[in-house]
Amino acid sequence: MPVHFPMGYRICAGCNTEIGYGRFLNCLSAFWHPECFCCHACNLPISDYEYHPKCEVCNHFIPTNTAGLIEYRAHPFWIQKYCPSHEHDGTPRCCSCERMESQNTGYVALNDGRKLCLECLDSAVMDTRNCQPLYRDIQEFYEGLNMKVEQQVPLLLVERHALNDAREGEKNGHYHMPETRGLCLSEEQTISTILRRPRSGRGNCTMNMITEPYKLTRRCDVTAILILYGLPRLLTGSILAHEMMHAWMRLQGFRTLSQDVEEGICQVLAHMWLLTQLESASSNAPQTSLSATSSRLKKGKRSQLDRKLGEFFKHQIRRTLEHIRVTGRFPK
C-alpha cells in the first residue's frame, strides 16, 4: 500500500533515485515510485490492485486487447488462465477434463485423434475387458435401487469413429452432447470393439491397439451399451450409469417420454452414482495395519486426483441439471 516517508529515506528500485515526499510502493522487497513499478511485458505502470498474469498454456504474459486491457479466459472449474487466442489456434484440450495442454506438459494422443492428460490417463479405462468390473459395480448400484436390469446386455468399449458409426445405424436415439461418449443400442449391428488396450509409444502416442468385430443380436429392446474408450474410471462410470438408465427404461416399456425428460432422468442417475463413489472415497474407515498403511500411501495421490476429477464430472452434470431446471430443456 502507498505510504509516506521523508525525502531521502528510500531509493526507487526502478529509477535508482531518491523517493521524495509523496506516494511510493513497497513491493518485491523493494521501494518504487508508482510510475516506475511497471509490467515487464507491456511496460505499463501497475497500480496497487493490478497484476499482469501469465498464460498457463504458453507461459507468456497475457497480452492486452485493443482497448489496452488485459483479457484472458479461465476454465469455470479448473480456473486455468490462458490467452484468448488459444481457443482458436488449435491448442489441444484433454478429452476428459477439458484442460488445455500447456507447453511444459505432454498429453497422450489416442488412436482416434483425442488427447488425454496424464492425470486422466492414470485411471483411464482402455478396453472392454478392463471395463467389466466397473459394469458389475453399476449393475449392483441399480439393484440397490430395485431397478435390476434382468437381461444380459453386452458392454463394449469402442473408438470414436465406431461410436459415431453405431449412432448413425440407430433408428431412434437421444444425442445431445457435442460429442457422443455413450450409446444404448436397440438395433442389430456389427461393432468394432477394443479387445486389447493400446500401449504407449514414441512421442506420447498410443499404438498396437487390437480391435475385433462384435455382431449384435437383437434378443430384447436393448442390443448393447457402447462407451467411448480412454476416459477415467469415474467419467466412464457416470456415462455407463446414464446409458444403463436408458436400457432400464426401454426394457421396462417407457416409450412415450420426451427426449429431454429421458435424458434428464439418465443424468440424475449418473449424478447419483457419482455421488456414491465420491462419498465412499471420503468416508473410508482408517486402516491400522502396516500393509494397509503402505497401500494407502501409495494410492493417496491417485485418490486425490480421482476425487478432483470426480468433482469436475459432478460439476458438469450439475450444470446440465441446472440448465434443465431453468429452461425446461436438455442443453443442445
Domain ranges of the chain: 1-51, 124-282+308-327
The per-residue pLDDT of the chain, averaged, comes to 80
Q: What is the pLDDT of residue 283?
A: 62
pLDDT tens for each residue of 17-40: 888 766 777 777 788 888 888 887
- The alpha-helical segments, DSSP class H, found in the chain are 118-121, 128-144, 160-169, 233-251, 259-282, 290-327
Q: Which fold has domain 1-51?
A: Cysteine Rich Protein (2.10.110)
pLDDT tens for each residue of 78-135: 888 899 999 999 999 999 999 999 988 889 988 888 999 989 998 999 999 999 999 9
pLDDT tens for each residue of 237-296: 999 999 999 999 989 888 787 888 888 889 899 999 999 888 876 665 444 333 333 333
Q: What is the pLDDT of residue 29?
A: 74
Residue 3 predicted with pLDDT over 50: no
Q: What is the pLDDT of residue 295?
A: 38
- How sure is the predictor about 188, in pLDDT bands with cuts at 50, 70 and 90? confident
Q: Determine the Cα–Cα distance for residues 223 and 255; give it in Å rounded to an integer.
A: 17
Distances (CA, A) of 299 to 164, 282, 295, 304: 36, 13, 6, 9
Q: 154, 224 in Cβ contact below 8 A?
A: yes
Mention every residue, 6+ apart, whose C-beta is less than 8 A from residue 326.
Answer: none
Q: What is the pLDDT of residue 50?
A: 53
Averaged pLDDT, 36-58? 77
* Lowest-confidence region among 54-58, 215-219, 272-276, 325-329: 325-329
